[in-house]
Amino acid sequence: MYTIGQFSKICKVTVKALRHYEKIGLITPDKVEESNKYRYYSKEQVSLIKKISFLKELGVPLKLVKQIIDKETIPDEIKVLLEEHRKILLEQLDLCNSRLVKLAWWEKTLEGKELTEAKNYDIRIRGVAETPVRSLRKHIKAKEIAPMIRSLLEEINSLGGVHAGPPIMLFFDEDFNPENMDMEAALPVLDVNLSNKTLPAVLAATCIYVGPYDGLEDAYEAVFAWINQNGYRAEYPTREISYNDPQTTPPEQLVTEIIVPVTKV
């Protein structure tokens, strides 16, 4: 048996952490003396604490570590838990990559001009023709837009068809909530058998934006300011057309058209 101090040194885990693990039921002392409350750990518990430390190094939350330890004799259930954590790590990786891209873009911008310098956007009023599309509308998170478009593309391919233009995203909410977006993805089609909807013709204020998606808010600011200053009222849903694939195109070369339907005030 080892005292808590000895166990701490053997396993390279602080006494404070061991007491916390005990509190949440992750690992409890093998023996606690009633007279002085001294805690003792067994030799067999060394491998358990090492497993806990290994899972922590993988970024697994303690709550999930406890579930994994509790299900040690059920490998299939452990695989499910680890797969869920893998998805979380991939999401964190995507977020880090996005931040690195944005940081690189920011540094590049600083080299050429001040960030506070206003951009000039070419905003135009034009009629957008009605468009037959294959579409799918859902309440989703912002990070689920790309998978939604891929799902729609696979649906068209499974029907033996092909799309006839770049994806169109329609946003029905006036406010912004990345965790719950009322959004429709649409792909133009020529074959009426593939179409399940026709996007109506609209009069719209439009703007071409070139750059990473993280910078779209600047273009929207310019479009809405133009609408408000020129006697129009913005209508919903707004639309975005992505003219190139973000998986194969550098962020600074992405081309997006913003389409905001309007009516004259």
DSSP of 113-165, one letter per residue? S-TTSPP---EEEEEEPPEEEEEEEEEE-GGGHHHHHHHHHHHHHHTT----S
Name the percent of the chain lying above pLDDT 90: 34
Whole-number Å distance between alpha carbons of 55 and 256: 42
Does residue 129 carry a pLDDT above 80? yes
The H or E element that residue 187 is part of is strand 181-188
Region of poorest pLDDT, from 84-88, 138-142, 229-233: 84-88
Task: Tell me the one-letter amino acid at 111.
Answer: E
Q: With contact defined as beta carbons under 8 Å apart, do 227 and 205 qualify?
A: yes
Q: Which of the four pLDDT bands, split at 50, 70 and 90, describes residue 114? A: very low
What pLDDT shows up at residue 88? 83
Pinpoint the residues of the chain covered by CATH 1.10.1660.10: 2-70
Report the CATH architecture of 2-70. Orthogonal Bundle (1.10)
237 preceded by a cis bond (ω within 30 of 0): yes
Does residue 18 carry a pLDDT above 70? yes
Q: With contact defined as beta carbons under 8 Å apart, do 223 and 204 qualify?
A: no
Whole-number Å distance between alpha carbons of 15 and 90: 32
Tell the CATH topology of 123-264.
Answer: Multidrug-efflux Transporter 1 Regulator Bmrr; Chain A (3.20.80)
- 27-42: per-residue pLDDT in tens? 888 888 888 888 889 8
Residue 170 corresponds to which tokens in the numbers above? 């329609």
Angle at 165 between CA 201 and CA 196, to 5 degrees: 60
Region of poorest pLDDT, from 3-17, 35-49, 66-80, 104-118: 104-118
Pinpoint the residues of the chain covered by CATH 3.20.80.10: 123-264
Does residue 111 carry a pLDDT above 60? no
pTM: 0.60
